Structure 1
Amino acid sequence: MTLSRRKFFSIAGATAATTLAASPLEGLLARAAFGQTTPTTTGYGSLITIPGAPLALPNGFQYREISRTGNLMADGFPVPSNHDGMAAFQGPRGTTILICNHEIGGTGTTGKVQVPSDLAYDPACRGGTTTLVIDSNRQLIKQFASLGGTIRNCAGGPTPWGSWITSEENVDIPGSGRLQYHGYNFEVPANATGPVKAVPLKAMGRFNHEAIAVDPATGIVYQTEDTGDSLLYRFIPNIPGKLVEGGRLQALRIGYTSSSAGSVNTATGFNVGQTWTNISWVDIPNPDPTTDNVRVQGRNLGAARFARGEGIWYGNGEIYFCCTSGGPGSRGQVFRYTPATNTLELFVQSPSATTLRAPDNICVAPLNGDLILCEDGASPNFIRGVTPDGKLYDLARNTLNGSEWAGACFSPDGKTMFVNMQSPGITFAIWGPWETRI
């Protein structure tokens, strides 16, 4: 079904307003502001380890392996490796469409996302996306390559107009087999039935992209950058819903004046509950440089620094984003930006490695409003939840190996969570009593 951009924005806004009645971290913020320790809860109960199973889940939850690296796809090629960011879309006849990133670097044919060379962005490069069609019984109908010729497609994000933005966490230049500059976003329609032509969205910036989130009320796209001194960006499109038509790239500033000594570094020195109301946005003079200096341009104009911006998600009129190595001990932070009030808040700083470590991809569970955090730290890696009243809990644990979790997202009806284990490259469907958290 084809919907206008206006209708997409309206549907997305109404859905967020009805399913996310409370900010997932408001309770945590309130408690931390009064000096109390970060609260925890058992969530859905203790995680149960089953011999031979690749993950541990609470009682009552089930999982199914949907796809694995090396399986044969409908296009005749094997499923690529390095599963990362992902989103779910409503498909026809009760199906769910998943678009999955494959964070594959370098050049060559081994493990490559295979698409016709005339559709690939840089034919020698191995990264890209695959599309999976899942039936109502959580069974894979088909999988196929949907974009190729890119490098290290890390995360990205869904749009309210029915597409996936896939992002390169790489700024390679032509040479050593590469024909193009890298470091761009690309768009993949959810209704694509085969590979689409990879068109770089150059006005959105050339840098180590991590993820994006779209404010459906305005069409503005917020972007994270995975470097130790990254910035938080927003892209104001010339035409909402048509990113290929260009726009303005900006970076967030905190309390900057012409006489300021420098930009604010949010990585250390702040407590949970810190709120910045003196936010402004600076235009990036050259969003598409041949050198990796977009963040330097922003920092020279006072843009704030973040410690490895990672996953970002829109929910309830707010933008949540993770900084994997921010906070004490570099264990991770979660920020919230509210576009309506132009304010930024530090919501979470990991109090200990056993509670939360290296939050990366992020999403919001539709049925209960919980924030879902995928860890990318030292083994063991968990999927953590944060309840609407601010209590942290364990949702799943990788019992197979030390790989990160990535790409957590929910089916349109909210009953199934899809998530990736990056190595050896597995996509899981997880379902259970989402409404009956303890």
Structure 2
Amino acid sequence: MTALDRRSFLTTGGALATGVAVETLATHAAWARTGREAATGAEGYGPLRRTRTRNTGEELLALPAGFSYVVLGRTGTPMSDGVPTPIAHDGMAAFPGTRPHTVRLIRNHEVRTGPGTPQGRVHVPGSARYDELGVGGTTTLEVDLRDGQVVSHFVSLNGTIVNCAGGRMLGDRGWLTCEETTDGPADGWRRKHGYIFEVPLRGPSPGRPAASMPLTAMGRFSHEAVAVDPRTGYVYETEDESGRPNGFYRFRPRDPRDLSRGGVLEMLKIRGADGYDCREGQRMGARLPVEWVRIDDPDPDLEGGAPTCARQGLAKGGAKFNRLEGCWWGDGSVFFNSTSGGDAKNGDGPGADGYVEGYGQVWRYLPGRRDGGTLVLVYESPGRKELDSPDNLTFTPRGGIVLCEDDASGADADPHPLAPGLTNVNRLIGLDPRRGRPFEFAVNIADDSEFAGACFSPDGSVLFVNQLGSTSSTEPPGRTYAIRGPWRKGPL
């Protein structure tokens, strides 16, 4: 977060609510040009070191001194329902468990194999599935916080595809899982895809996953993540489709506790600026007034040539973003990542519209009570050492933010001294709410797959996070980590 401090970053009563001071922006810019402390581990919880798991003895992560971890739900291990743990561990959330001292995790699987492919599939024969050939879905884990043992582990939704991220339902009643694709029958599937599905917290059990029913009014597009405003029930949605401008959406449900009853889908627009390009040329801390334009056809017949949700919104002046991914509700607002936004470029070639990818941005949307709200760019990466391709994000119980890197750049190699032999290394980056700077918290030293699904146990004692692994095979495997340590000695 560079030189933006805790007050200006996370409150509506500080600098962001009244306009960021010139001095703050000047300090921010100066640090962004010269600072390299984030890559050294000199801040946050101190230097990182290669660390072995407590339960398998493998060196998979580099962590600060005093932190330890165990591996849960590795791809291929049998679950309680007899199904092998699927591949491609992605977005996730943690809820109170059904037993004392337990936590319940609902985890996405971004499986990208072909229709009906058995390897790594999320599948329970005979269950109620949206698409009989679907390979994606979710699994649920019940974990004992005292020793990290998995009490129960099972498929909780199947019959979907490319389940990337999602978000918590209103009232923590469960998880909204999102398909990051708009494939359909023309691609070999039985049904159209590109939807959001509900996974109830209670109900699914080993051998009895929830019925997968698409919430079509919430839009058909390459969904990434969602965040729900607990005051209104509005659901904010991010879009991640490479090669073209993406939108940031808002769904206003008729009944916030029954999303199947439909509602209105809208795209964010900067007031008075049709087609405003948020991808580059932005000033950190500047306040952009927002209005919302309606998506008239949220479930377009893409196979028949109907315009996409993004095209509909952009035609009405909607704002352009690049690869919107992680999304989280915190401190009365929505924080979301633009994985490849920004002026500092990563070297990859331009998309279809000529935009050249950057190292990433973190945005904040503050809902308005009497208007459309306000959009603020709170951080933009000046280079790969500070932050490279932020994907999922989460708020910590103590007020910090954790960002999961998804560095798949083909042009800009990103080695790390703690991960010899790896070209594109992914990290967990913390944003310090006191000093306002990014810092390394963890490094994936096992392979080059991304981190995903970071979330804290309800009591704040354990950080759960996924290592994606492969999305099309069992190697490298997906893993879920449970990390514990002296959180209160640092900014997270």
Deviation at 1:242, TM superposition (A): 1.2
Contact 1:33–1:273 at 8 Å: present in 2 too? no
Letter in 2 for 1:217: R
1:58 equivalent to 2:64? Answer yes
Contact 2:8–2:15 at 8 Å: present in 1 too? no
1:338 equivalent to 2:366? Answer yes
What SS does structure 1 have at the residue aligned with 2:313? helix
| 1:416 corresponds to | 462
Deviation at 1:36, TM superposition (A): 3.1
- Note closer, same or farther for the CA distance 1:49–1:27 as it changes in structure 2 (3 Å cut): farther
| 1:196 corresponds to | 210
Deviation at 1:136, TM superposition (A): 2.6
Give 5+ residue unaligned stretches, structure 1: 1-19
- Note closer, same or farther for the CA distance 1:158–1:362 as it changes in structure 2 (3 Å cut): same
Moved more, 204-213 or 20-29: 20-29
Give the root-mean-square deviation of aligned CA atoms.
2.0
Contact 1:117–1:123 at 8 Å: present in 2 too? no
For 1:148 and 1:413, the matched residues in 2 are separated by 30
Letter in 2 for 1:393: F
Q: Normalised by the size of structure 1, how large is the TM-score?
A: 0.90
Letter in 2 for 1:107: P
What SS does structure 2 have at the residue aligned with 1:295? helix
Q: Which of 7, 26, 31 is the aligned partner of 1:37?
A: 31
Letter in 2 for 1:237: P
Letter in 1 for 2:447: N
For 1:53 and 1:117, the matched residues in 2 are separated by 39
| 2:176 corresponds to | 165
1:350 equivalent to 2:381? Answer yes
Contact 1:380–1:399 at 8 Å: present in 2 too? yes
For 1:101 and 1:214, the matched residues in 2 are separated by 18
| 2:191 corresponds to | 180
What SS does structure 2 have at the residue aligned with 1:93? coil
Q: Normalised by the size of structure 2, how large is the TM-score?
A: 0.81
Contact 1:382–1:394 at 8 Å: present in 2 too? yes
Letter in 2 for 1:371: I
Contact 1:22–1:369 at 8 Å: present in 2 too? no
Letter in 1 for 2:193: H
| 1:282 corresponds to | 293
Deviation at 1:23, TM superposition (A): 4.2
Deviation at 1:131, TM superposition (A): 0.5
Deviation at 1:93, TM superposition (A): 2.3
Q: Which of 231, 239, 242 is the aligned partner of 1:225?
A: 239
| 1:119 corresponds to | 128
- Note closer, same or farther for the CA distance 1:146–1:53 as it changes in structure 2 (3 Å cut): same
1:265 equivalent to 2:274? Answer no
For 2:149 and 2:465, the matched residues in 1 are separated by 15
1:406 equivalent to 2:459? Answer no
Letter in 2 for 1:420: N
| 2:251 corresponds to | 235
What SS does structure 2 have at the residue aligned with 1:107? coil
Give 5+ residue unaligned stretches, structure 2: 1-5, 53-57, 346-357, 409-423, 470-476
Moved more, 125-134 or 283-292: 283-292
Letter in 2 for 1:152: V
1:101 equivalent to 2:115? Answer no
What SS does structure 2 have at the residue aligned with 1:37? helix
Percent pairwise identity: 45
Contact 2:227–2:327 at 8 Å: present in 1 too? yes
Letter in 2 for 1:75: D
